[in-house]
Amino acid sequence: MSQQVLQQVVGTAIVDRQFRTDFLNGGRQRLLAQFALGEEEAALLLGIRADTLEEFAAELQRRLGSSGHIALSPPAYRSLSNPVGF
């Protein structure tokens, strides 16, 4: 599983408000088409149900940790709703 592409998806959601809104409100499959995701990554990201980006990221981290995959590096932000520098 590519940690880099998963970080790209989450990073885009952090910095792009419209992407984040669509990602959490039914547009995830359409949005993920722009990333070079394998079947495993796509299934993982599509299978997470969350109302906020914080919930999504926490569940992604939990699933990656429990599957034995390398965990996502913590990004440099105070919170997902208030990124540093924004």
pLDDT given at position 2: 80
Q: Domain for residue 75, yes or no?
A: no
Q: Is residue 78 included in any domain, yes or no?
A: no
User: How does pLDDT run across 25-73, given as a tens digit for each residue?
Assistant: 999 999 999 999 999 999 999 999 999 999 999 999 999 887 655 445 4
Range scoring the smallest mean pLDDT among 11-15, 27-31, 72-76: 72-76
- Quote the domain boundaries for residue 54: 3-66
Count: domains in the chain = 1
Its pTM stands at 0.72
Q: Answer whether residue 58 is part of any domain.
A: yes
Residue 38, exposed/middle/buried by CB under 10 A (0-12, 13-18, 19+)? Answer: exposed
Tell me if residue 32 falls in helix, strand or coil. helix
Position 77 in a domain: no
Domain-embedded: residue 83: no
Q: What is the pLDDT of residue 65?
A: 86
CA separation for the pair 29, 45 (Å, rounded): 9
Task: Please indicate, yes or no, if residue 61 is contained in any of the structural domains.
Answer: yes
